[in-house]
Amino acid sequence: MKVFLDYGEGKLAVDLGDARADLIEPKHQPGLADERSAVLAALDAPIGAPALREWPKPGGRIAIAFTDITRATPNDRLIPWLLEYLHRHGVGRGQVLLVNQLGTHRPNTREELRRILTREVVENYEVINHEPENPLALKQFGTTQSGAPALVNRRFAEADVRIVTGFIEPHLFAGFSGGVKGIVPGLGGLQTVMHNHGFRNLSDPSATYGITDGNPLWEELREIALRVGPTFLLNVALNNERKITGVFAGDIVQAHRVGCEFVRDSAMQAVEAPYDVVITTNSGYPLDQNLYQSVKGMSAAARIVKDGGTIILAAECREGLPTGSACEKLLRSAPSLAELLEQLARAPEPLPDQWQVQVQANIQRRAHVLLYSSMPHEVVRAAHLEPCHDIARAVAELVSGKNGSVRIAVLPQGPLTIPYLLRAASAQR
């Protein structure tokens, strides 16, 4: 049996020989016949909000938040269409500011911004990277119910019209991406993001794929977004070819809720029983640029692996952990993941990037994890993972002598499909 895994900017072919595996992929959703027309129509007939053409006032400032280079949003199509719509309704170029939803990621270079938005957009509009650690670039909207400072990008928050763009997919601890996540963490202050992504929130059983209501992490993000004021949402759903399958525009909460149910139907797949071996990816480039993001693919596999089973993650990680990041420093700060978990639980304040370490450590308490990547083996080991030289050979060794009793699953597109156990879902009802 041969499988093809999303890896970097291509496909990784893996020949599993005589081993049989269950392929777990999203239900195919065809791309819209006319994406541009669908987007423009959604702006005129949004969910729970007036048409976007009614939002701008003469001379008013408009801030558009867009996702950064680690996300698969088709910004190169969405943003030009959105700008076209605004201009048609009297908005001048000088009124528009485009803000990159970096969260706590590194700033994108000018060339990367051209790749994300198109060269024409970058050369004709003001485009800035969010600055999560610059107090002058942030505005505080009080303190959340759980004690987090509600810090949001100042220029976005003070605009007369705020528009958040992005795409919706299941998220490992926020329930779904998109929606209010475009404000925080997308445009949140570092302290805000660290508190929200802290040990307590991530330890809550409701902080997982597919759950927003009752998820303390998501509810705090919603609380902050609503304090900023009315914000227009333009989110899309995508298939594995990055074609738009659905457009959800309007009120940032209501439109997102409709989009989540659309995505849930195609992206979340039930399985009858756990697997001994789960082969997964992080959906290829741009999502598998580094290990920090690739834990999402690992997390998707962990939902259906047996206790004591094996996860094999194929993620290119061309940027490494990335090098010099808070994530790398934290992973290198203790000799074992068990000690890291204890360190995080005792910490008086959340630490930068601790969500990645906490999720990874909890997965590795249950399963053995191998990583096939472009990273040097010593870097993989420093991240407390085992390098995998050859996925086919690793699988052959795991099934050897087991007389076909080893259950194998493959997630070729990683977290674009979120599997779940039927019995676990029943237990939660």
What would the pLDDT profile of 282-310 be if each residue is shown by its tens digit?
999 988 999 988 999 999 999 999 999 99
Q: What is the Cα 271 distance to its own chain's centre?
A: 23
The architecture in CATH of the region 2-26+272-428 reads Alpha-Beta Complex (3.90)
Q: What angle do CA 324, 195, 281 make, to 5 degrees?
A: 55
Report the helix count and the strand count for the chain, using DSSP H and E.
16, 20
Q: What angle do CA 360, 164, 359 make, to 5 degrees?
A: 5
Q: Is 130 a catalytic residue?
A: no
What's the one-letter identity of residue 123?
E
What would the pLDDT profile of 388-406 be if each residue is shown by its tens digit?
999 999 999 999 988 778 9
Domain 35-266: which CATH number of 3.40.50.1970, 3.90.76.10, 3.40.50.2000, 3.40.50.11440: 3.40.50.11440
If residue 128 lies in a helix (H) or strand (E), which one and from where to where? strand 126-129
pLDDT over threshold 70, residue 427: no
d(CA 379, CA 386): 10
d(CA 310, CA 103): 32
List % helix, strand, coil for the chain (3-state, nearest 5).
Answer: 35, 25, 40
d(CA 99, CA 154): 11
Task: Find, among 232, 243, 255, 100, the residue nearest to 176 by Cα.
Answer: 255
Domain segments of the chain as ranges: 2-26+272-428, 35-266
pLDDT over threshold 80, residue 166: yes
**Which of 130, 171, 197, 256 is labelled catalytic?**
171
Would you tell me the crossing angle of helices 110-117 and 75-88 to the nearest 10 degrees? 70
Q: What is the Cα 209 distance to its own chain's centre?
A: 11
Q: What's the whole-number average pLDDT of the chain?
A: 94
**Which of 105, 130, 195, 197 is labelled catalytic?**
105
Residue 365: its pLDDT value, please?
93
What would the pLDDT profile of 101-139 be if each residue is shown by its tens digit?
999 889 999 999 999 999 999 999 999 999 999 999 999
Q: Is 105 a catalytic residue?
A: yes
d(CA 413, CA 283): 4
What would the pLDDT profile of 327-373 be if each residue is shown by its tens digit?
899 999 999 999 999 988 888 888 888 888 899 999 999 999 999 99
Tell me the three-class secondary structure of 329-344, residue by residue: HHHCCCCCHHHHHHHH
Longest dimension (CA), the chain: 74
CA atoms within 13 A on the CB side of 261: 6
Residue 428: its pLDDT value, please?
43
Q: What is the Cα 121 distance to its own chain's centre?
A: 24
DSSP 350: -
Q: How confident is the model at residue 380 (pLDDT cuts 50, 70, 90)?
A: very high
What is the rounded average pLDDT of the residues 70-77? 93
Lowest mean pLDDT among 28-42, 71-85, 339-353: 339-353
Task: Find, among 295, 284, 71, the residue nearest to 173 by Cα.
Answer: 295
Residues in the chain: 429
Q: Give the phi and the psi of residue 308 in degrees, each rounded to 5.
A: 85, 0
Task: Find, among 2, 125, 138, the residue nearest to 64 by Cα.
Answer: 125
